[in-house]
A = this chain, B = another copy of it.
Amino acid sequence: MRVTQRVKRILANYEGENPGTKGNLARILMHGKLGGTGRMVILPVDQGFEHGPARSFAPNPDAYDPHYHYQMAIDAGLNAYAAPLGMLEAGADSFAGAIPTILKMNSANSWATEKDQAVTASVADALRLGCSAIGFTIYPGSEYQFEMIEEIRELSEEAKSVGLAVVVWSYPRGGDLSKDGETAMDVTAYAAHMAALIGANIIKVKPPTAHLEQPEAKKVYEKEGVDISTLSKRIAHIMQSSFNGRRIVVFSGGAAKDTEGLLNEIRSIRDGGGSGSIIGRNTFQRPREEALALLDSIIKIYQGKA
């Protein structure tokens, strides 16, 4: 399929990047059932690192096998598959060229007593495994936020110099942030903006609630009458905060909810102009056929067919 006008307009926003990085963004944007629409659905499987294998895969034991996820992402017609080093290595040869991959470069685990992550891969790994992008989590607000930001800065510079794209998971936590604050409107917008500022090509945040965490920010939102009354308005504000829509922003599935709740959330992301979804647990913790059906429903929503 030809690179569409829609995708070309998106690529044109990345005017600081070299053609290699744009080409890899194009690969992701042009792949799968949403290829060419400017929307994307990505399958991330780093849950095993974060929560351990049983909590991740016991509900659907086929998912213990790394090949399962590659195949799922391909069969569902997703845009890309993101995972830590070992998961990608375990299928990189069998699925060479089959789907754009994103090497998740850092990970935490359930036992961490500090809000930090370990770097577990290199840009050279991403190249030899044929990845299109690197992925990296930052925790704005944590006591390690500056170290994390400096790590991704270095990795990002290296990755972009060799034509890879950079995906940043921007998850505020720690410091004075309340639990509710982690998904507050102002905090999420801030997290997305910060990711854009450090050069992220694709930004991942959680769908924001209407909560406003920071008093100073609250005053402004109220004074200026920023409309954050519905999720789609809030999504639109996130896009606005991400260089007025010049950056791709994808949203995670958020808190566990029923399927209809999830699909309505997707509709709001779409209506708010969000770039798409990154759906992990909601995918691989269901039986394969159910997961494929769910992903198809999500894709239809982004296609404007549902």
Give residues of chain A (78-97) contacting chain B, Cβ–Cβ below 8 Å: 84-97
* Chain B neighbourhood of A272, CB < 8 A: none
New A-B contacts (4) at CB < 8 Å, excluding given A86-B199, A86-B200, A129-B163: A24-B97, A85-B197, A113-B143, A116-B146
Give residues of chain A (229-285) contacting chain B, Cβ–Cβ below 8 Å: 237, 240-241, 243-244, 246
Interface centre among A17, A88, A190 (most CB of B within 10 A): A190
* Chain B neighbourhood of A154, CB < 8 A: 122
Q: Known: A153-B120, A189-B53, A220-B55. Contact between A19 and B125, CB under 8 A?
A: no
A272 to chain B, nearest CB (A): 15
- A78 and B109 CA atoms in complex are apart in Å by 35
* Chain B neighbourhood of A146, CB < 8 A: 112, 114, 116-118
Copies in the complex: 5
A212 to chain B, nearest CB (A): 9
Tell me if A52 is interfacial: C-beta within 8 Å of chain B. Answer: yes
Closest to A228 in B: B54
- A99 and B75 CA atoms in complex are apart in Å by 24
Tell me if A206 is interfacial: C-beta within 8 Å of chain B. Answer: no
- A226 and B57 CA atoms in complex are apart in Å by 11
29 residue pairs from A and B, CB less than 8 Å apart: A2-B98, A15-B92, A15-B93, A15-B94, A16-B88, A16-B90, A16-B92, A18-B92, A20-B127, A21-B130, A24-B130, A26-B96, A51-B217, A53-B189, A54-B186, A54-B220, A55-B217, A58-B224, A64-B241, A64-B244, A85-B153, A85-B197, A86-B197, A86-B200, A86-B243, A109-B140, A111-B141, A128-B163, A129-B163
Tell me if A289 is interfacial: C-beta within 8 Å of chain B. Answer: no
Tell me if A293 is interfacial: C-beta within 8 Å of chain B. Answer: no
Selected from B20, B96, B197, the residue in CB contact (under 8 A) with A87 is: B197
Selected from B3, B92, B111, B240, the residue in CB contact (under 8 A) with A175 is: B111
Give residues of chain A (9-35) contacting chain B, Cβ–Cβ below 8 Å: 11, 13-27, 29-30
Say whether B64 contacts A129, CB under 8 Å: no
Tell me if A301 is interfacial: C-beta within 8 Å of chain B. Answer: no
Say whether B51 contacts A216, CB under 8 Å: yes
- A51 and B218 CA atoms in complex are apart in Å by 12
